[in-house]
Amino acid sequence: MNEFKVLLLLICVISITVTQSQKPFYCQAPLPNPSENTNGLTLKMVQVVTRHGDRTPLYSTMNGLMDEWNCTLGSYMLPSQGNNGETLNNVDLLYRKVYLPGREYLPGNCSLGQLTALGYQQHINLGQAFRSLYVYKYALLSETLDESEIWVRSTDVPRTLQSAQGHLTGLYPPGTTGETGQNSVNIIDIFTMDSYFENMEPNNNLCPILVQYYYNNTDSQTYYQFNKENYNLKKEIEQALDINKAPDWSDLMDLFFATQCHGFDLPPGITESVVNATYQASLWENNYLLSPSIVNRLSMSTFFEEIINNIEEFISGNITTKYFIFSGHDDTVGPLMMLFGIDQYWPPYASHVEFELWEDDNSNKFIQLKYNGVSIEVSGCSSTMCPIDEFFETAYSILVPDYSDACQPTSSSNESGSVWP
């Protein structure tokens, strides 16, 4: 990414902060924009990686300072014997999970990290924006849902699963979901996996040496200095929240931003400048811990490889899927973009990354990488419309070729324990 692009991105972030002065930029990512330099080119395939929408915080002080969260977003359930969908011919009873009021950390009836009605709507809006781009403007996808064009994956977490559903609802709103065949409704598979194997975020179960890197990076002069500089801030926050030991910076940042995103008052003693300083600390720490290039690459290598493989398999004709959704978290989108040197701001709710595969009349292929509405000039690429050989060269320099070996810890002392939340 050149300096001009960095500047644009920053101006973009700053202007979001300014124009919605009451809501931090964290509350909503900018919607997608048209791609750049598309003259004479046809869009062939897109892979979209997202962060879930607005949710309740993941950390609560449990001292009831906050108002009630809006958890009107429910989800109906229907178990299916044999998983064959025949049950759907005859649906006469659905089930609903309801959180008992007053039995959660948060006041009201929300669970920690639950997707809110707003968060779901954000993904519907995102899906609608993708519909105008990928169905209408670039004629990539059919106007009426064709399941064979789409493949969906999510982490096994309610908010990312629901975000994917919102995304698809915006992409194919009621009336465009196609023939229903033998069942009364269509079914879209959302692929997922046990969190133990999840590679859409840094996972030291998959790559144990990440634990060692973590301890090495936090046992450093730079990191001690960071803690020293922020000692008073942490004390101030602990006092204001009336807690003995503050959680991680990112949990505090998230608590403050999520509170502001819902228009609730900040807890007494937490000022705008405390929120800002908490954000700066959180961003710095997160970037610092991931910034040794090998840590970032080991954290995302196998997931990024899947994205690369999909492009290769599509070009070779092995697969025909045109639209992939990967529904993840801030630590999916953040570390993924960091592979391309982009870490200037925390990924807001409903952040989105697009890997677009384009083709000209002579079958030359190109990749355009877009992040929250901005087309990225990938390093090693001569344009935002990146000739595919140039893109692959950069991509292969990011992947860790001897991944399994490189993930083996150098000593057995710190093999287990979850470092990445």
Ligand X SMILES: *[C@@H]1O[C@H](CO)[C@@H](O)[C@H](O)[C@H]1NC(C)=O
Which residues here bind ligand X, judged by CB under 6 A?
Answer: 70-72, 74, 98, 109, 117-118, 121, 209, 212-213, 215-216, 219, 273, 276, 280, 312-313, 316, 318, 410, 413-414
Q: Kindly state the smallest distance separating residue 217's Cβ from ligand X, in Å.
A: 8
CB of 414 to ligand X, least distance (A): 4
For ligand X, give the closer residue by CB, 56 or 199: 56
Strands (E), 157-296: 190-191
**Measured from the CB atom, is 56 or 327 closer to ligand X?**
56
Q: Show Cβ contacts of residue 232 under 8 Å, excluding neighbours closer than 6 positions.
A: none
Residue nearest to ligand X (CB): 117
The distance of closest approach from Cβ of residue 298 to ligand X in the complex, given in angstroms and rounded to an integer, is 10
The rounded distance, in Å, linking the Cα atoms of 161 and 55 is 13
Q: Which is nearer to ligand X, 6 or 117 (CB)?
A: 117
> Is the CB of 97 or the CB of 235 nearer to ligand X?
97
Nearer to ligand X, 202 or 328 (CB): 202
d(CA 224, CA 229): 9
Q: Quick one: 140 exposed, middle or buried, by C-beta within 10 A (0-12, 13-18, 19+)?
A: buried
CB of 144 to ligand X, least distance (A): 28
| CA dist., res. 196 & res. 204, Å (int) | 9
Please state the closest distance from residue 297 (CB atom) to ligand X, in A.
13
Q: Whole-number minimum distance, CB 410 to ligand X, in Å?
A: 4
Task: Please report where in the chains the tokens 């083709």 appear, as a residue.
Answer: 359
Q: What are phi and psi of 81, to 5 degrees?
A: -65, 130
Question: Residue 297: how many CA atoms within 13 Å on its side-chain side?
Answer: 16
- Angle of helix 330-338 relative to helix 272-290, nearest 10 degrees, comes to 60
Select 318 or 382, whichever has its Cβ closest to ligand X: 318
CB-nearer residue toward ligand X: 171 or 233: 233
Cβ–Cβ under 8 Å, residues 384 and 376 = yes
Least distance (Å) from ligand X to the CB of residue 191? Answer: 19
Q: How far apart are the first and last CA of the chain?
A: 29
